[in-house]
Amino acid sequence: MSIDKSLKRKGGLTGSRSVLTRAERIIALKADDKFPDGRSPYGLPKVRVMKLGKKPKKTPKAEAAADDAKAAKK
């Protein structure tokens, strides 16, 4: 049974995820040299997820410049 398209979210996973997949955790551990070759992929230690910061708000001057650039392209 499928989900009606009116109920689907447009952006999918727009927010930051709080959990990494096993493959992502292994990549993060290898980057920190905490995952030696030959180790079992089960029972991995926790890996901290870096949350993305909020986008800075545009100033009125920046918005006006962006509007002028859009108008010039038309």
Give the pLDDT confidence of 22-47 residue by residue, as tens digits.
999 999 999 999 999 899 999 999 89
Say if residues 20 and 28 touch (Cβ distance below 8 Å): yes
pLDDT at 43: 92
pLDDT at 65: 72
Contacts of 19 (CB under 8 A, 6+ apart): 49
Q: Letter for the amino acid at 17? A: R
Mean pLDDT of 59-63: 68
pLDDT at 56: 64
d(CA 40, CA 62): 52
Say if residues 20 and 46 touch (Cβ distance below 8 Å): no
pLDDT at 31: 93
Q: Taking the model in full, what pTM does it have? A: 0.49
